[in-house]
Amino acid sequence: MNRPALERPTPALVPSFCLVLALAAIVVNACAQAPRPRTLPMALPARPARRVVISLPDRKLAVIENGRILDSFHVAVGARVTPSPTGTFVIVNHLDAPNYYHHGKVIHPGAHSPIGTRWMGLSKKSYGIHGTDAPRSIGHAASHGCIRLRNQDVQRLFTELAVGDTVEIHGERDAAVLGVFQPTTLTAVSNAAVAGGQ
């Protein structure tokens, strides 16, 4: 039986091979000593979850926490040809001074931005709650389906809501809507807003 002869490494390759091993040892040692990224614990919510109730026929929005109405606003809703979606959604993003993207065009934040100064995106793709450059549209069915507020109102609402809060959009005056938007319920909220200088 013939065994193959063991080849001896050529003298030129031995120093190169040793150099590669030495470099590998340095890299492994450096990685072992590198600071590892810290894993931060998940932040606990600073407040209870909030619920937003929107009545399309009333063109109103209310912020509710623990069954109590914290604030309410007049809004513009989707036009007849571009209606607002109905159902229960979640706020998935929260943007200050958002860019507006439409048909390949970018409109930067400012006085002429159709989405105004704030954007709270919903779990229904492409829909959100935002400001407007057309404040006279508030109280009407005039949007492309999103919920519009005056810029000063959306700035206040932006501070009251967070990612993860629930948004209910109602297309009819059902029991949930009537329980929130009764005239006596909203009078107390409106009086509080007037007293606060709003």
pLDDT of residue 184: 56
Residue 2 placed within a domain: no
27 inside domain: no
Q: Is 40 a member of any domain?
A: no
Identity of the amino acid at 173:
R
- Give how many domains the chain has, as a whole number: 1
Let me know if residue 39 belongs to a domain. Answer: no
Cα separation, 177 vs 150, whole angstroms: 22
Q: What are the tens digits of pLDDT across the range 14-53? A: 555 555 445 444 444 433 343 343 333 444 457 899 999 9
Is this prediction's pTM over 0.85?
Answer: no
What backbone torsions phi and psi does residue 26 show, to the nearest 5 degrees? Answer: -65, -45
Is 15 part of any domain? no
Which tokens go with 70?
């914290």
Asked whether the beta carbons of 140 and 16 are under 8 A apart, the reply is: no
Give the CATH number for residue 124. Answer: 2.40.440.10
pLDDT tens profile 77-133: 999 999 999 999 999 999 999 988 888 899 898 778 999 999 999 999 999 999 999
Residue 24 lies in a domain: no
Which token pair is 19? 């150099």
Is 180 within 8 Å of 69 (Cβ atoms)? yes
Residue closest to 147 by CA, chosen among 165, 129, 171, 168 = 129
Q: What confidence score (pLDDT) does residue 86 get?
A: 97
Domain that holds residue 151: 51-195
pLDDT of residue 194: 47
Q: State the Cα torsion 54-140-115-178 to the nearest 10°.
A: -10
Strand partners of residue 95 = 119
Asked if the structure places residue 89 within a domain, the reply is yes
Spatial contact of 76 and 138, defined as CB atoms under 8 Å apart: yes
CA 85 to chain CA centroid, Å, is 17
Distance of CA 99 to the CA centre of its chain: 14
Please report whether residue 176 resides in a domain.
yes
What confidence tens digit (pLDDT) does each residue in 50-65 have? 999 999 999 999 999 9
